[in-house]
């Protein structure tokens, strides 16, 4: 039979052992624990609702909510204005590095940065990337103009005037505007739109007779118009193969690329300064078109939690199936691959930049 001293000694020993086990656990487990339980994450999209970036974020938001520690509510907050620089400037200036505010950008956010737009008050070096999404883009026409284009692309370009709803010539719209001009088309943009969704609405109302959308917006907003006979695809911008060559977009393999159309039109050339500049900004705008960022001061464990969450989402068994109809068939990158895509989307050659700045000044009176 144990004495009182023995019982006391035994309890003390168990207490010491428990404390030792707790100490050992604290050495082997991380000192931090990212847990967003009961929290709300705001995903800032600096565009209006209905465009490609908005649809992309709203696709990912519930999946990200499931994958983040604590499964916080992830809400998309649209902050349009100044072609996306307004919302991005606000994020750069005010977002707290606590993991509860993230930013989704697109080529329309990257291009003003690349072109030294004075309204830009953000720098991509100050953001920590956790996801990079490649995408594509499709230009489309009303059925009657599509028939003319199919019959004789040269006559189509020479004999028509086009109206296009645009966010601005220094935004991602630079890619279609330069492409159409290279084809010899007379396209007059109506500037000032807050998102590509507004451009699609102009087309639907008959206020514009040419439009383009990124793949996610085209799949969700324009394919129904195509099925109803109200729109016909003209071309895609294409995609990059493993050698960096422009090939058909894997989401739209039956659709000709701009390169193919350019090669078939007398006014257009797939060599020279205009072509080189178009390719440079296409690469910056589409293979790394949409990215998700945290503020630069965010702790490494929070950044890792987001990177891991997005990786878990993109590695889901059903991801290819559920994303194809919403985003298209494109790489979704995290970690080092996302860093590589970030560099691709935020760098262009001095020659390409100089050409585009000269073109913007001559064609639209825009000086940067």
Query: How confident is the model over 257-305, as pLDDT tens digits?
Result: 999 999 999 999 999 999 999 999 998 889 878 999 999 999 999 999 9
* Predicted local confidence at residue 311, as pLDDT: 97
- The whole-number pLDDT of residue 368 equals 79
- pLDDT tops 60 at residue 14: no
pLDDT tops 70 at residue 12: no
Q: Is the predicted pLDDT of residue 161 greater than 70, yes or no?
A: yes
At residue 242 the predicted structure's pLDDT band, cuts being 50, 70 and 90, is confident
Q: Does the structure show a pLDDT above 70 at 25? A: no
Angle, helices 273-285/174-182, rounded to nearest 10 degrees: 150
Cβ atoms of 187 and 181 closer than 8 Å: yes
pLDDT at 366 over 70: yes
φ and ψ at residue 51, rounded to 5 degrees? -90, 180
2 touches 10 (CB < 8 A): yes
40-134+287-345: CATH topology: D-Maltodextrin-Binding Protein; domain 2 (3.40.190)
Number of other residues whose CB lies within 10 A of the CB of residue 272:
10
Domain ranges for the chain? 40-134+287-345, 137-285+351-361
The answer, yes or no, to whether residue 10 has pLDDT greater than 60, is no
pLDDT at position 29 over 70? no
- Give tens-digit pLDDT for 315-348: 999 999 999 988 999 999 999 999 988 988 898 9
For residue 51, what are the contacts with CB-CB under 8 A and spacing of at least 6? 195, 196, 197, 198, 200, 213, 214, 217
| 217 vs 368, more confident | 217
The residues pairing with 105 across neighbouring beta strands, listed in sequence order, are 291
Radius of gyration of the chain (CA): 25
Q: Do domains 40-134+287-345 and 137-285+351-361 have the same CATH topology?
A: yes
What is the pLDDT, as a whole number, of residue 241?
85
Predicted confidence (pLDDT) at residue 132 exceeds the cutoff of 70 = yes
Rounded-to-integer distance, Cα 123 and Cα 89, Å = 9
pLDDT of 66 reads 98
Summarize the confidence of residues 305-309 as an average pLDDT.
Answer: 97
What are the distances in angstroms from CA 258 to CA 239, 267, 268?
A: 10, 13, 10
Cα 82 to chain centroid distance, Å, stands at 17
Per-residue HEC secondary structure of the chain comes to: CCCHHHHHHHHHHHHHHHHHHHHHHHHHCCCCCCCCCCCEEEEEECCCCCCHHHHHHHHHHHHHHHHCCCCCEEEEEECCCHHHHHHHHHHHHHCCCCCCEEEEECHHHHHHHHCCCCCCCCCHHHEEEEEEECCCEEEEECHHHHHHHHHCHHHHHHHCEEEEECCCCCCCCHHHHHHHHHCCCEEEEECCCCCHHHHHHHHHHCCCCCEEEEHHHHHHHHHHHHHCCCCEEEEECCEECCCCCEECCCCCCCCCEHHHHHHHCCCCCCCCHHHHHHHHHHHHHCCCCEEEEEECCCCHHHHHHHHHHHHHHHCCCCHHHHHHHHHCCCCEECHHHHHHHHHHHCCCCHHHHHHHHHHHHHHHCCCC
**What CATH number has the domain spanning 137-285+351-361?**
3.40.190.10
pLDDT class of 78 with cuts at 50, 70, 90:
very high
Over 70: is that where the pLDDT of 197 sits?
Answer: yes
- Per-residue pLDDT band for 11 (boundaries 50, 70, 90) equals very low
Q: How many CB atoms lie within 10 A of CB 240?
A: 16
Whole-angstrom distance, CA of residue 67 vs CA of residue 308: 8
The pair of three-digit structure tokens given for residue 333, joined into one six-digit string: 């990158």
pLDDT confidence tier of residue 195, bands split at 50, 70 and 90: confident
Nearest to 74 by CA among 289, 290, 288, 309: 309
Q: What is the Cα–Cα distance from 355 to 182, expressed in whole angstroms?
A: 14
The average pLDDT across 58-67 equals: 98
pTM above 0.75, yes or no: yes
């Amino acid at each position: 039979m144990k004495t009182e001293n023995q019982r006391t000694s035994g309890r003390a020993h168990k207490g010491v052992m428990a404390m030792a086990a707790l100490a050992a656990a604290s050495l082997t487990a991380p000192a931090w624990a990212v847990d967003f339980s009961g929290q709300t994450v705001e995903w800032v999209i600096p565009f209006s609702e209905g465009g490609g970036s908005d649809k992309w974020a709203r696709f990912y938001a519930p999946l990200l909510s499931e994958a983040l520690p604590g499964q916080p509510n992830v809400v998309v907050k649209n902050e349009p204005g100044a072609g996306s620089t307004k919302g991005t400037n606000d994020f750069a200036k005010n977002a707290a590095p606590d993991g509860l505010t993230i930013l989704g950008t697109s080529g329309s956010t990257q291009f003003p940065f690349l072109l030294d737009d004075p309204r830009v008050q953000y720098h991509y070096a100050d953001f920590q990337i956790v996801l990079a999404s490649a995408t594509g883009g499709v230009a489309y026409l009303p059925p009657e103009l599509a028939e003319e284009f199919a019959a004789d692309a040269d006559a189509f370009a020479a004999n028509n005037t086009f109206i296009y709803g645009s966010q601005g010539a220094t935004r991602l719209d630079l890619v279609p505007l330069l492409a159409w001009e290279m084809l010899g088309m007379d396209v007059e943009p109506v500037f000032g739109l807050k998102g590509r969704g507004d451009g699609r609405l102009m087309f639907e109302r008959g206020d514009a007779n040419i439009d383009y959308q990124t793949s996610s917006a085209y799949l969700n907003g324009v394919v129904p118009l195509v099925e109803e006979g109200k729109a016909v695809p003209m071309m895609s911008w294409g995609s990059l193969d493993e050698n960096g060559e422009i090939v058909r977009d894997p989401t739209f393999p039956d659709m000709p690329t701009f390169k193919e159309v350019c090669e078939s039109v007398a006014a257009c050339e797939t060599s020279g300064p205009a072509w080189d500049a178009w390719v440079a900004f296409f690469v910056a705008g589409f293979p790394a078109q949409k990215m998700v960022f945290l503020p630069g001061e965010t702790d490494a464990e929070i950044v890792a939690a987001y990177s891991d969450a997005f990786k878990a989402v993109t590695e889901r068994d059903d991801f290819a199936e559920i994303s194809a109809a919403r985003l298209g068939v494109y790489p979704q990158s995290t970690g080092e691959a996302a860093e590589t895509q970030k560099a691709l989307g935020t760098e262009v050659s001095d020659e390409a930049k100089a050409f585009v700045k000269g073109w913007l000044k001559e064609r639209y009176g825009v000086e940067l």
